[in-house]
Structure 1
């Protein structure tokens, strides 16, 4: 016979937590659940980037500088490059338009408008309209030859003295140089030949000097006399090369500068006159 139920005893000590159970089967979210799960995340915000400026050329040869906006264009805030290593301009011409108060001096430009890490240090001649000038690695060279050497070549080139190495220019690679040529309408370069009075007499008139002096351009072609101006006097001969590519038939002239090699026709000089000193000026683009 079953007796009466006794009183409830005291609560026992809590036992240890058991091991986790096995994972259940993957469920399926309904369309309703997906719509009610909350707002969809918006597009990931990108850091604000400042657009690089760009100097553009028009078909009529004129140039204008495109605006560079900082942040949203709706803000209407202009941010012009400063010509520094971290914030280079495209050309000195462009830099002068943005900052008319700047004095002539060294600034940084980035003609290909890419990463500022390959910006080039140039001399900006704002007095001359904003020309971009690059110094040669060697501003003065000696060109000499041995008159008694037997050679089938009448022109002696400076590169022959340097195992084929030609004139180089500070801090600029071939890519940046091509963009400088593209952005410019005119390029020019000065060279001064320092000679004795007897050498000047042997070279003769301006026309004969043009025939005796040979200049190799950046494109690998020799620079024609139509692009050179020669002034002779006081123991020196000044040679100026100027190329203008704003005319259709002269577009390729811009590829001639800078000068890469200097040569002299040794037949014009006597056996005693076998050396020249040449001052190489900067290559300038405008």
Structure 2
């Protein structure tokens, strides 16, 4: 026993009591008026809840800054943020690059863009990460109709949310195919990290030059936190 109060323990107990009291008085419903902190909290309060769009408020503040997310309860509850534009158009992106071999960020080209997630601001994003332990995201690489992936590989970078780190991988070049049933037209890149600052992804860079004329594009999946 000690005469010195354990302030950290007291704070933890108070926060736990505050959460239980809030659930008793006003249980989270996933609505704008009664948002949950995360999809996990919504599932704990309502175990029979189904996948769908719900309001959350990670910073526990006024529901005025609550925002919509997709809650995936298929396995463990995930809070998912969808990009503003999920489809990077299928086109010959590298024809616009310089003459020398280099990585070219798609956002720098005509019709290119960085991936934005407008539903959440910086403060709410910080609190969402504090309530999570794992982040994940999937991006699909697509060849144009009538094309397939060849055996030739090319390096590719995926820009993290910090914008000073990136994932490095390889993709297979697209090539014309007279037989629509032969060969794969897409690849899937799956990202999962306990470093929650890395996701969501912001941009893609492909290594090559203007001599690479094949059409390709990407489908950007939601960034999910659990």
What's the TM-score once normalised by structure 1's chain length? 0.61
Structure 1 position 258, deviation (Å): 0.3
Q: Which residue of 1 aligns with 2:149?
A: 200
Correspondence 1:276 to 2:216 = yes
Q: Confirm or deny: 8 A CA contact 2:156 2:206 kept in the other structure.
A: yes
How far apart in 2 are the matches of 1:137 and 1:117? 21
User: Residues 222 and 195 (structure 1 numbering): CA distance in 2 closer, same or farther, change over 3 Å?
Assistant: farther
Q: Which residue of 1 aligns with 2:51?
A: 104
Higher strand share: 2
Q: Which residue of 2 aligns with 1:243?
A: 193
User: Residues 93 and 189 (structure 1 numbering): CA distance in 2 closer, same or farther, change over 3 Å?
Assistant: same
Task: For structure 1, list consecutive stretches of 5 or more residues without a partner in the other structure.
Answer: 1-55, 57-63, 71-75, 245-252
How far apart in 2 are the matches of 1:65 and 1:95? 17
User: Residues 265 and 199 (structure 1 numbering): CA distance in 2 closer, same or farther, change over 3 Å?
Assistant: farther
Q: Which residue of 2 aligns with 1:175?
A: 123
Residue aligned with 2:64, SS: helix
User: Residues 149 and 79 (structure 1 numbering): CA distance in 2 closer, same or farther, change over 3 Å?
Assistant: closer
How far apart in 2 are the matches of 1:65 and 1:96? 19
Correspondence 1:67 to 2:15 = no
Q: Which residue of 2 aligns with 1:189?
A: 137
Task: For structure 2, list consecutive stretches of 5 or more residues without a partner in the other structure.
Answer: 1-11, 174-182
Q: Which has the higher contact order (CA 8 A, sep 6+)?
A: 2
Q: Confirm or deny: 8 A CA contact 1:188 1:241 kept in the other structure.
A: yes
Q: Which shifted more, 195-204 or 111-120?
A: 195-204
What's the TM-score once normalised by structure 2's chain length? 0.76
Q: Confirm or deny: 8 A CA contact 1:194 1:237 kept in the other structure.
A: yes
Please, what is the CA RMSD of the aligned residues?
A: 3.2
Q: Confirm or deny: 8 A CA contact 2:150 2:172 kept in the other structure.
A: no
Q: Which residue of 2 aligns with 1:285?
A: 225
1:1-286 → structure 2 map (5 Å cutoff): 67-69=19-21, 77-142=24-89, 144-147=92-95, 150-151=98-99, 154-161=102-109, 165-195=113-143, 200-201=149-150, 203-204=152-153, 212-225=155-168, 234-244=184-194, 253-266=195-208, 271-273=212-214, 275-286=215-226
Please say which structure displays the higher CA radius of gyration: 1
